[in-house]
A and B are shown apart, each in its own frame.
Chain A
Amino acid sequence: MIEVKNIHKTFGENHVLQGISAEFKEGMCNLIIGGSGSGKTTLLKCMVGLHEPDKGSVIYDGRDFTTMNFQSRIEIRTEIGMLFQGSALFDSMNVEDNIMFPINMFTNQNRKEKLERANFCLERVNLAGKNKLFPSELSGGMKKRVGIARAIAMNPKYLFVDEPNSGLDPKTSIVIDELIQEITEEFKTTTVVVTHDMNSVMGIGENIIFLHQGKKWWEGSNKEITESNNTELNEFVFASKFMQSLKK
């Protein structure tokens, strides 16, 4: 489980996060949703240490990440897998080397063991045999899947996913969402997904946190979200005519 307690983050005059507290449960897809500029990605970056919060703490299974130094954080970081919005695959490496990169850095496995693990991860994301392709040769959906394969290479306890469906067609988006959910269940990871895609919310949102103007505005599940009376949440969820027609 990951707990965030009273997180504040300011950029210049802009108070992006204003005292956010939440719990992200183990073995569950925890979604952070909200409009553009609501602070979703900033919260995610504060949780993984890419931004330092001005105030508050991030606790990984009782370990306070915010007070740790660089060396102590490495231990937790090896338990973290992350899929970035743009996949963030290393351009100079092929698919296989991208997946083996964290294994190379943090384990003493031999080449055969590392290759077995890379192949397992590739099979898991339905990309078996694509080992030697370079990121420039992959489609958007394939890049996301390789990103997921790299994220699970070290058997992570915590999986962070930033906008997994951006730039993907609806069909591929569903494939990625299902993959994230399957991996969460299979590896028992604490998964945190930042998204504003309503299909993801309805499909995999077991625990949803809605951010608005830098504050936690609502919390619940995908079953509860359509029945909520929260005005700001309803404006966000039922922004499209399609969702409005569904509500009617």
Chain B
Amino acid sequence: MIFHPLGKYILLLKAVFRRPEKWNIYRREIFHEMVSIGVGSLGIIAIISLFLGAVTTVQTAFQLVSDFIPKSVIGMIVRDSAILELSPTISAIVLAGKVGSSVASQIGTMRVTEQIDALEIMGINSPGYLILPKIIGAVTMIPLLVIISIGLTILGGYIAGSASGAVSAQDFIVGITTDFIPFTFTVSMVKSVVFAFIITSVSAYQGFYTNGGALEVGRSSTKAVVISCIAILFTDYLVAQLLL
């Protein structure tokens, strides 16, 4: 049951990575997608990151009631949680909703209104022209969004910790600067690149093979988000298992 769509997905990816007809047109599309995905998602990523950091700090402080554990541990936990899990994974799930649904509905609408057929008739490799710029745009911009998210999550934790008195500013800074393992950042970047690829390619696949009309475009969009989220969580575990 899974092999047929998986085969179609792989064949679509093969067409996506075929040599572009004209690089300068693709380059323009890539920049357009980078702005759309990167700048367009900055606001939502900033908001969720600040609150994620704040909630993690307050809840960690609530659980660390022992006098034997220094308060600076809260900073360490917020930092490592942000780098390893919260920023890459939660950002990816939010972006699956925002970017994934947009990609699937955009390509799906083009399919049902014969715009993809028009590209094919002109002799253009439609998977390459429509999907490759989105994949490249996401793979370059989502890691940057994750880096911003890490910074804002830690900032959110710092503000919430200081404001609520859960952890002093000094303890928090000590925490985030102690025993930092740079490899965790590498893991985070690997995750963000893999998630970016999943979000765009899975959503584009759902949109590209839409059949019917407006109702089916909506269904494709929903399926794109659901499948992307499941695939993100599965590969999150896989990457963690392989790299840590």
Residues of A that sit less than 8 Å from B by CB: 48-50, 70, 73-75, 77-78, 80, 82, 84-86, 88-91, 101-102, 104-106, 154, 160
**A105 close to B22 (CB less than 8 A):** yes
B-chain residues with CB within 8 Å of residue A74 when the two chains form the complex: 123
**How distant is A130 from chain B, measured CB to nearest CB, in Å?**
19
A-chain residues with CB within 8 Å of residue B124 when the two chains form the complex: 105
**B22 close to A82 (CB less than 8 A):** no
**A50 close to B123 (CB less than 8 A):** no
Query: 30 pairs across A/B with beta carbons < 8 Å?
Result: A48-B121, A50-B117, A70-B125, A74-B123, A77-B120, A77-B121, A77-B122, A77-B123, A78-B122, A78-B123, A80-B123, A82-B121, A84-B114, A84-B118, A86-B113, A86-B114, A88-B115, A88-B117, A88-B118, A91-B113, A91-B115, A101-B122, A104-B22, A105-B21, A105-B22, A105-B25, A105-B122, A105-B123, A106-B21, A106-B122
**B22 close to A88 (CB less than 8 A):** no
- Indicate whether A73 sits within 8 Å of B115 (C-beta atoms), given known contacts A104-B22, A105-B21, A106-B21: no
A-B contacts counted at CB < 8 A amount to 52
Q: List 9 additional contacts besides A85-B114, A102-B122; criterion CB under 8 Å.
A: A50-B121, A77-B121, A88-B114, A91-B115, A104-B22, A105-B21, A105-B122, A106-B21, A106-B122
B118 partner, pick from A78, A82, A106, beta carbons under 8 A: A82
B-chain residues with CB within 8 Å of residue A90 when the two chains form the complex: 115, 118
Shortest Cβ distance from A79 into B: residue: B123
**How distant is A148 from chain B, measured CB to nearest CB, in Å?**
13
Residues of B that sit less than 8 Å from A by CB: 21-22, 25, 109, 113-115, 117-118, 120-125
The docked-state distance in angstroms from the alpha carbon of A50 to that of B115 is: 12
Interface SS majority for chain A:
mixed
- Indicate whether A80 sits within 8 Å of B25 (C-beta atoms), given known contacts A86-B113, A88-B114, A90-B115: no
Shortest Cβ distance from A84 into B: residue: B114
The docked-state distance in angstroms from the alpha carbon of A50 to that of B25 is: 24
A-chain residues with CB within 8 Å of residue B21 when the two chains form the complex: 105-106
A-chain residues with CB within 8 Å of residue B121 when the two chains form the complex: 48-50, 77, 80, 82, 160
A-B interface, 3 closest residue pairs, ranked by CB to CB distance from nearest: A77-B123, A88-B114, A74-B123
The docked-state distance in angstroms from the alpha carbon of A74 to that of B128 is: 14
The docked-state distance in angstroms from the alpha carbon of A89 to that of B118 is: 8
**A84 close to B122 (CB less than 8 A):** no
Shortest Cβ distance from A45 into B: residue: B117
The docked-state distance in angstroms from the alpha carbon of A85 to that of B113 is: 9
**How distant is A241 from chain B, measured CB to nearest CB, in Å?**
33
Shortest Cβ distance from B32 into A: residue: A92
B-chain residues with CB within 8 Å of residue A91 when the two chains form the complex: 109, 113, 115
**How distant is B139 from chain A, measured CB to nearest CB, in Å?**
22
Shortest Cβ distance from A107 into B: residue: B22
The docked-state distance in angstroms from the alpha carbon of A49 to that of B118 is: 12
- Indicate whether A49 sits within 8 Å of B114 (C-beta atoms), given known contacts A105-B21, A105-B22, A106-B21: no
- Indicate whether A50 sits within 8 Å of B120 (C-beta atoms), given known contacts A84-B114, A85-B114, A88-B115: yes
B-chain residues with CB within 8 Å of residue A104 when the two chains form the complex: 22, 25
The docked-state distance in angstroms from the alpha carbon of A102 to that of B122 is: 7
A-chain residues with CB within 8 Å of residue B109 when the two chains form the complex: 91
Most chain A Cβ neighbours within 10 Å, of B22, B113, B122, B124: B122
B-chain residues with CB within 8 Å of residue A75 when the two chains form the complex: 123
**How distant is B107 from chain A, measured CB to nearest CB, in Å?**
12
